[in-house]
A and B are shown apart, each in its own frame.
Chain A
Amino acid sequence: MKLAPLFGIEAVALLLIIAETYLFFNFVVPLGPIPHSLTEYTGLALLKLILILALVAVWFVVMVGLTRIYVKAKIRNAPRPSS
C-alpha cells in the first residue's frame, strides 16, 4: 500500500509516453504541406522541433511536479535511525 503513490506516478508516466509518442508520430512528423522553398522547409522544421521540445517539456514538467509533491509530502516524516 505504501507503494501506491509511486504506482500512480508510474501510471501517469506511461500514459503520457503513449499519448506523446502517438502525437509525435501521427501529428508532428506528418505536419504541414510539402515545402517548396528553403524558407518554408526551415520554418516547418523549426515548428516541428518546437513541438517536439514542447512534448518533452510537458512530460518533464509533469514528472518533476509529481515527484516534488511526493517528496514534500514524505520528507517531514522520513524515517531516521533511532540511535
Chain B
Amino acid sequence: MPSGLADVGLLSLSFVVPFMCVLLGLPPFLRLLTRMGRVSEDVHKTPPTKVPEPAGPILFVAALLGELVVAIGFRSWVPVAIMLGAGIAFIIGLADDLFVLGGKTKPLLLLVAGVAFAGVVAFRPDLYQPAIYFPIIGRAAPHFIIYTVLAVAAFPVVSNAFNMMDAFNGEISWFTLLTSLALLVGVSLHAAYASGFSLARVGATLPLVALAAGFLLFNRYPSRAFDGDSGSLMFGAMFAGLAITGGVEIAAIIAIVPAILNSFYTLSSVRGFVERRGMSTRPTYIGGDGLLYPSTEPNAPNTLIRLILLAGALSEKDLVKDVVYLTLVACILSVVTSIMTWVH
C-alpha cells in the first residue's frame, strides 16, 4: 500500500491517463467512424447534422487504463470488480449500438453485469460492506443477501437511468461529470473519516470523472461525438459499482434523482420498457423556429424533458442548461448528505 506522495501521484495518474486517452484517442477514432459511415443524425438540429457514433469503445479503453493504474498501484480488487460490471454493460451497449436490442432485453442482460460485479465478493469479501450509511442516523443493520440482491439490481436500474439521460447534446457528459464529482466527494469523505477505508476506492472514482470531463469537450453543444449506448450504459454501470464499493449509496441515489425521475416518468407513462424508437407518440417536437416544444397530446409520454418544456419552449442548448441546473441541485444535496453522513 503506497503512502504520501506516492498516493497523490497514483491518484493524479488515475485521472490524467483516462483524460488524455479520451482527448488524444477520440479525434482519430471519430474520423475512423466517419470513414466507416457510422454516423447518426442529430435530429434536434434543423436541418439534421451527422455526428459520429458510438464513441463508447474509446471511453471504455480510457476507463480500463484508468482503473488499471488504480488496480496495480493500490493492489486493489475494487477496480477489477468495477470494470467487470462496466465491461459487460459496455458490450451490451455496443451490441445495441450495432444491432438494436429490444426494450426489455437490455435491462435483463444488464443483470449479468450486476451478477459479475457481485461475484467478485467470492474472492474479495471486503469488496463492499453489506450495510447502508444514513446521514445523522448512522449505519443500518448489515444484511448480506438483501444488500447483494439490491447491488445486482442497481446495475440495470442505474445504467438504464444514465442511458435515458442521453438524448441531447452534452446532456450525458454534463450529467455524468456532475454526478461523478458528487460521488467523488462522498467517497473521499468516507475515506477521510472512516478508519480502514482504502484510498483505492477514491482512486477508482477518478477515471469516471476524467472520462466525463474529457468526453464533455466533444459532446457539448454542438456535439462532435455521441457516446452511443455503449458509452452511457458503461457510465451508469461504473457509477453503480463505485457507489456500492465506496459505501455512499444514499448520496449516490440523491445525485442521480433527475435520472431516476426521468426513468420513472417514462416507464410509468408508456407502461413498460420501450425503446425511444418504439414510442408511438413523441414527448417533444421541434417547431419551425428551431425551438423544442412539449407534446400536448394526452397520451404523450412524460419525460423529464417534456416537463421542463411545459414551462416554456427552449433551444437545445438552453434545455440542457436546465437539465444541468436540476442535476446540480441534486448533486449539491448529495454532497450535503455525504457531509452529514461522514463528517463528525
B18 at the interface (CB under 8 A from A): no
Chain B window 307-339, contacts with chain A (Cβ cutoff 8 Å), 1 for yes, 0 for no: 111111100000000100110011001000100
Q: Which of B118-126, B133-141, B193-201, B230-238 lines the interface with chain A? A: B133-141
In whole angstroms, what is the CA distance A18 to B330 when docked? 13
Which chain A positions have C-beta within 8 A of B268?
A: 60, 63-64
- Please report the number of residue pairs spanning A and B whose Cβ atoms sit closer than 8 angstroms: 101
* CB of B108 to closest CB in A, whole Å: 20
In whole angstroms, what is the CA distance A5 to B308 when docked? 10
Is the pair B310, A78 in contact by a Cβ cutoff of 8 Å?
yes
* CB of A14 to closest CB in B, whole Å: 5
Q: Say which residue of A13, A18, A74, A80 sits within 8 Å of B134 (CB atoms).
A: A18
B contact residues, total (Cβ < 8 Å): 42
Which chain A positions have C-beta within 8 A of B293?
A: 78-81
Which of B264-321 touch A at CB < 8 Å? 264-265, 268, 287-289, 291, 293-294, 296, 302, 304, 307-313
Q: Which of B65-73, B77-85, B182-190, B253-261 lines the interface with chain A? A: B253-261
* CB of A61 to closest CB in B, whole Å: 11
Is the pair A25, B294 in contact by a Cβ cutoff of 8 Å?
no
- Report if A3-B325 is in contact (Cβ < 8 Å); known contacts: A26-B140, A26-B141, A80-B293: yes
Which chain B positions have C-beta within 8 A of A50?
A: none
Is the pair A7, B326 in contact by a Cβ cutoff of 8 Å?
yes
Q: Say which residue of B135, B257, B307, B313 sits within 8 Å of A70 (CB atoms).
A: B307
- Report if A13-B325 is in contact (Cβ < 8 Å); known contacts: A25-B141, A26-B140, A70-B307: no
Is the pair A10, B264 in contact by a Cβ cutoff of 8 Å?
no
B75 at the interface (CB under 8 A from A): no
* CB of B33 to closest CB in A, whole Å: 34
* CB of B287 to closest CB in A, whole Å: 3
A contact residues, total (Cβ < 8 Å): 32
A54 at the interface (CB under 8 A from B): no
Is the pair A29, B132 in contact by a Cβ cutoff of 8 Å?
no
Which chain B residue lies CB-closest to A79?
A: B313
Is the pair B257, A81 in contact by a Cβ cutoff of 8 Å?
no
Is the pair B312, A79 in contact by a Cβ cutoff of 8 Å?
yes
Which chain A residue lies CB-closest to B253?
A: A17
In whole angstroms, what is the CA distance A70 to B310 when docked? 9
- Report if A14-B134 is in contact (Cβ < 8 Å); known contacts: A26-B140, A26-B141, A67-B265: no
Which chain A positions have C-beta within 8 A of B308?
A: 3, 6
**Subset of 19 A-B contacts with CB under 8 Å:** A3-B326, A6-B311, A7-B329, A13-B261, A18-B134, A18-B135, A21-B134, A22-B140, A29-B140, A67-B302, A71-B302, A71-B310, A74-B310, A75-B310, A79-B312, A80-B296, A81-B291, A81-B293, A81-B313
Chain A interfacial positions (CB closer than 8 Å to B) = 2-3, 5-7, 9-11, 13-14, 17-18, 21-22, 25-26, 29-30, 60, 63-64, 67, 70-71, 74-75, 78-83
Chain B interfacial positions (CB closer than 8 Å to A) = 131-132, 134-135, 137, 140-141, 143, 146, 250, 253-254, 257-258, 260-261, 264-265, 268, 287-289, 291, 293-294, 296, 302, 304, 307-313, 322, 325-326, 329-330, 333, 337
